[in-house]
Homo-oligomer: A and B are copies of this chain.
Amino acid sequence: MGQKIVHPLPRTISEGDVSLYIAFTGSRFALHSSNEVAKEFGYEKRPIDDVLMFHMTFGKSVQDISLNAIANLGYAEISFPTPVYVGDTVSMTSTVIGLKENSNGKSGVVYVHSIGVNQNNEEVLNFKRWVMVHKKDKKTLTGIKEVPTFSETTPILDEINIPKIECVDTNATGGEFFFEDYEKGERLNHPEGITIDDSDHTLATKLYQNNAKVHFNDHMMKSTPMGQRLMYGGIIISMARAISFNGLQNAQWIYAINSGSHCNPTYAGDTIYAYTEIIDTIDHKREDIGLLRLRTIAVKNQKSEEILNPKDEDGKYLKNVVLDLDYTVIIPKNKTKK
């Protein structure tokens, strides 16, 4: 408890990373595609896509936290406090905030609080995570059970670190819908489906310097029940976010990821579809922006509109459902529409 781990390998994010991310995902959010749009929004230049920044920073913790984990169990309270730009260098530190021995005495759950910073030590990513790992000493029962509690959703602050939005040119962003146009309970079936191949996902995961063996080593994976390389779950988050552009064009900022589940594995050749439910519309004291709490469900090899409920009668995810993501985005209000 309280152990602090400085993850090695700070990473400078470059224009090359930005281009590769667009090539991997086909992402079209205007804020991250165009310096001119970013300037209209009050930025000096286009900030890095939040999900790309997440992968780049998160990748640092794989070596120390999850490389030999039995399972990645969950995430909570993920936030993106400060925008990141080309040329910034991100690094990450984790602190152990919880420990729980499993009843078998052979493994346990470790809870960590991870904070990513830029070169000026400003927080760019903040999240909690828990993984199941083997115990070194499998014979001694310690009975340790210090489990932290997490908010169901990342708290929304009064101060949000994005420039005041004066106007949004819908001719540039490609979307006509603003905060007031979404209703709680509404569902958006995003029409696009994108197939992911071997090179797509391994190039991306290597770019993020995430070195979990299951993603890269086909020779090793052939002798596992999977029989092939497993796709890094973050790839699916990226694809779901990119596919959700159609219907959420102006929701260009991820404020938080509240929780997420990789419900089923994905492999090369899978085609990813997605739909989004508006869980909540959250007004903000700022006059220019509001927030939407979203649930995006990614599905493999089946059109998203065919999935009415991602879980079956027993509460088990359908076999084609691959991601259940609960997150909160920022979207300008109608008054900014130009």
**A interface with B by C-beta (< 8 Å):** 6, 8-12, 14-20, 22-26, 28, 30, 33-37, 46, 63, 87, 89, 91, 119, 170-175, 191-195, 197-200, 202-207, 209, 211, 213, 216-220, 229, 249, 269, 271, 301-302
Contacts and interface: CB of A to CB of B under 8 A. Distances in A.
B271 A6 contact: no
A15 B87 CA distance: 10
A203 B199 CA distance: 10
A180 to B, nearest CB: 21
A303 to B, nearest CB: 8
A213 B301 CA distance: 14
Contacts of A172: 8-10, 91
A23 B217 contact: no
Contacts of A197: 198-199, 202
A19 B19 contact: yes
Contact of A14 (B16, B200, B219): B16
B119 A36 contact: yes
B211 A28 contact: yes
19 contacts: A6-B171, A9-B30, A10-B30, A10-B37, A11-B34, A12-B35, A16-B18, A19-B20, A22-B206, A25-B206, A26-B211, A28-B211, A34-B89, A36-B89, A91-B172, A192-B211, A195-B198, A195-B219, A219-B302
Given A195-B216, A199-B199, A216-B195, A209 B28 contact: yes
Copies in the complex: 3
Given A20-B20, A33-B209, A193-B219, 13 more contacts: A8-B173, A10-B34, A10-B37, A23-B207, A24-B206, A34-B89, A35-B89, A36-B91, A36-B119, A192-B216, A194-B206, A194-B217, A197-B198
A152 B153 CA distance: 62
A30 B99 CA distance: 31
B271 A26 contact: no
Contacts of A34: 9-12, 89, 91
A219 B36 CA distance: 36
A129 B216 CA distance: 33
